[in-house]
Structure formats: structure tokens, C-alpha cells
Amino acid sequence: MENKNFYIIDSCSLIDLNRHNPIDLFPSLWKKIEELIKSNMMVSHIEVFNEITQQDDKLTEWIKKYKSIFRNVTQRQAEIVWEILKKYPSFVKIDNQYDADSWLIALAKEIKEDPQQSL
């Protein structure tokens, strides 16, 4: 089986990219990202979607068109996040909310463990 490279993207990457390279001013850059998404080479986690959509801006509008790249929580991811939080409790925010980063790590680990379900 051939290994296929792909990207797991986090909130900060998209937020900072939009801040420094706005969607409406750099359409060719965002078109490349759309190509990665459409070719199943970019995924993320639903918790990243939730973080991004807390704002009402162009990025939120843009990302809603690509909600399909945001993977839902699985039982295995929940187990991995639990392991992460036991070892690294600082991943929990002050208000006892999980940071999306721990879910991204869990998603990456789950994909690595079972590449058949990956993309």
C-alpha cells in the first residue's frame, strides 16, 4: 500500500493565515488550501471547527463550506485524550474545557494506528 501524505491543521494555523493573508486579498493561497481539502489531503477535528466558528468573520464563513474535513470524536480519540490529559494536565483550559490540540493529537494517533480509516 502506498503511503499518502496529508495535513492535520489546527485553529491557530487557519486563524493566523487568515489574519496575515486574508481570504479576500489572497484568493490564490486559499484556493491551494481548497485543493488540498478537495483532494482529501487535509483534515482536522471538530473541536478546531468549534474554536474557529466562535468568531463571526470571513474565516468562519469560509470554513463552514468545508465542514466535512472536521472529524468527529471517536471512542478511540476519547481514550487517547484521556491518556494525554493524565500525563499533561495543562492541556485543559482554566474553565475545564479541553483544548482542541489534545483532540488533534488524538486524531493523528488514531490515523497512524489505523491508516485504512484515515482518509
Distance CA 42, CA 63 (A): 13
pLDDT digits (tens, 9 = 90+) for 48-95: 999 999 988 999 999 999 999 999 999 999 999 999 989 988 777 666
Name the E strands within the chain: 7-8, 42-45, 70-71
Q: For residue 114, what pLDDT band results from cuts at 50, 70 and 90?
A: confident
Nearest to 43 by CA among 78, 10, 77, 84: 10
Question: What pTM, to 2 d.p., does this model score?
Answer: 0.84
pLDDT exceeds cutoff 80 at 4: no
pLDDT exceeds cutoff 50 at 1: no
Burial class (CB in 10 A: 0-12, 13-18, 19+), 98: middle
Distance CA 80, CA 10 (A): 18
- Whole-number mean pLDDT of the chain? 88
